[in-house]
Amino acid sequence: MTDHLDRFHAALTVLAGHGHIKQRLIKAFEDNLVDIHEDELPVAMKQSFADLRLDMHRVSPLNGEGPICASVRKMSLTEASEIAGRIVTLYGELARMRDDLQASLPLADGNDETRVPPFLVKSV
């Protein structure tokens, strides 16, 4: 999950950079998200990412351009901005899921040999 979180973070860095929104969207998806398959993501995100992938591949390419470039080229600026927002939302969901997973991990495995040091225990 960390690898996917890093990829989404890299995509957000591109989306927040300089340039036209369509160019940033193409670069963000092609460089960071195109290799992610929805089956690799948590169940709660699978459909949203599948819909995103479908939107990024909905137009057949022309003259040597790829399907992502062709699809984004046909989008309005509003549609491109909306899809960029969906990438941000997916990143947020993935980050929350990772945080929830880490919060549920126990500090100790029940073995008395692995005690939490006293300075890490919050005093009342």
Using the predicted structure, report yes or no on whether residue 28 has a pLDDT greater than 90: yes
Percent of the chain with pLDDT over 90: 67
What the block records as the tokens of 61 is: 């390419």
* Higher pLDDT among residues 39 and 98, named by residue: 39
Q: Cα-Cα-Cα-Cα dihedral of 105, 108, 114, 116, to 10°?
A: 100
Using the predicted structure, report yes or no on whether residue 29 has a pLDDT greater than 80: yes
Distance CA 61, CA 59 (A): 6
Distance CA 54, CA 48 (A): 10
Per DSSP, 116 falls in state P
Using the predicted structure, report yes or no on whether residue 113 has a pLDDT greater than 90: no
Q: What mean pLDDT, rounded, does the chain reach? A: 88
**So where are the chain's domains?**
2-106
Of 11-15, 33-37, 93-97, 98-102, the poorest mean pLDDT is in: 98-102
